[in-house]
Amino acid sequence: MLIDSHAHIYLDQFDEDRLEMMDRAQQEKVLKIYMPNIDSTSIDSMLEVYDQFEQFTFPMMGLHPCSVKKDFERELYLVEEWLEKGSFIAVGEIGTDLYWDKTYFAYQQEAFKVQCELALQHELPIVVHCRESIDETIELVQPYIERGLRGVFHCFTGDIDQAKKITDLGMYLGIGGVATFKNGGLHKVLPEVDMHRMVLETDSPYLAPVPHRGKRNEPSYIPIIAQRVADLTNLSLDEVSEITTKNAQELFHPK
């Protein structure tokens, strides 16, 4: 069994063939798909997919850093309300992003801190976005790790030192399609990382692995990523599948 620990399969890119996409995932033994939220505009569609595929999909609740604007406090109130009344496996997708726009970085940091507190309150892991801001986000999360917070740095694209800082905190690395990119850099990192600190993800519909790069990504491509990890770590595909699946279950379903 494989787990896609990060996929936005509720987005409109899947509206035309969502059922077929789910069938393809199950045929590839991807039997669980974890869905991070983006903001208030994505909640309804995410929960509709959850209702339709309740046995296979697991929703999260959070505010994506790229959706953090001046009104972020209103968005966070909604996150808090949903966490109180819903059944979610994580607080996510949260974090920081210095790639697109640095204007709201201070707001992103504040939103991240609030959501870390919510995760501790609800005893949930966090799913961390940190594009072009890995070091800043490691520094932000460290005080919460000391208080028992756990989670994953999703779509990890950093170097060996950053990977070890994250895993030394007891957090996981989300490994996706970038691992298959010729210039992705992870061929240097993954052989040096403890396999018991990795989970697999697609980040669908984004970042499709080679040979599908540039096209829509989907959970059925997880075996491609697993095979790449196996090749880089000198493990078998079965070993990578077993270890990463166990890791995801321990992180998101600890009880």
pLDDT tens for 107-144 read 999 999 999 999 999 999 999 999 999 999 999 999 99
235, HSE (Cβ side, Cα atoms, 13 Å): 20
Reading the chain (255 residues) residue by residue, the pLDDT tens digits are 999 999 999 999 999 999 999 999 999 999 999 999 999 999 999 999 999 999 999 999 999 999 999 999 999 999 999 999 989 999 999 999 999 788 999 999 999 999 999 999 999 999 999 999 999 999 999 999 999 999 999 999 999 999 999 999 999 999 999 999 999 999 999 999 999 999 999 999 999 999 999 999 999 999 999 999 999 999 999 999 999 999 999 999 986
The overall pTM is greater than 0.95: yes
Tokens 């990463």 -> residue: 244
CB of 99 within 8 A of CB of 131? yes
The first and second tokens of residue 95, run together, are 């974090």
CB of 131 within 8 A of CB of 139? no
The first and second tokens of residue 63, run together, are 């505010």
